[in-house]
């Protein structure tokens, strides 16, 4: 699967799981910030550093999604392999 398609699928999967992805540039050395998941008033948000390369974004979002409960959610086999999860 092409990286663009992979990342689009990861974004779609995050949305299915109720995670909103927000993009921002975290390159300001005055404000140390990095990509990550947070929960605000019961809603999950993943803040993605927009300055990251596509392979880095795939790795970061994959790390987040592999910790989520994917039970009952169809995930393409190639993406399951990427996440290191198994279908039950």
Model pTM score: 0.85
Provide the residue ranges of all domains of the chain, joining segments of one domain with +. Answer: 3-83
pLDDT over 70 at 88, yes or no? no
What whole-number distance in Å separates Cα of residue 84 and Cα of residue 79? 8
What whole-number distance in Å separates Cα of residue 45 and Cα of residue 30? 23
pLDDT over 70 at 61, yes or no? yes
Q: Which pLDDT score, from 0 to 100, does residue 85 have?
A: 64
What whole-number distance in Å separates Cα of residue 52 and Cα of residue 33? 13
Element containing residue 6 per DSSP (H, E): helix 3-16
């Amino acid at each position: 699967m092409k990286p663009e398609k992979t990342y689009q699928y990861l974004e779609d999967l995050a949305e299915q799981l109720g995670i909103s992805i927000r993009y921002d540039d975290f390159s300001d050395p005055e404000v140390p910030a990095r990509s990550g998941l947070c929960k605000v008033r019961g809603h999950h948000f993943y803040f993605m550093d927009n300055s990251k390369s596509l392979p880095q974004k795939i790795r970061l979002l994959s790390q987040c999604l592999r910790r989520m409960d994917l039970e009952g959610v169809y995930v393409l086999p190639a993406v399951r392999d990427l996440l290191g999860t198994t279908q039950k």
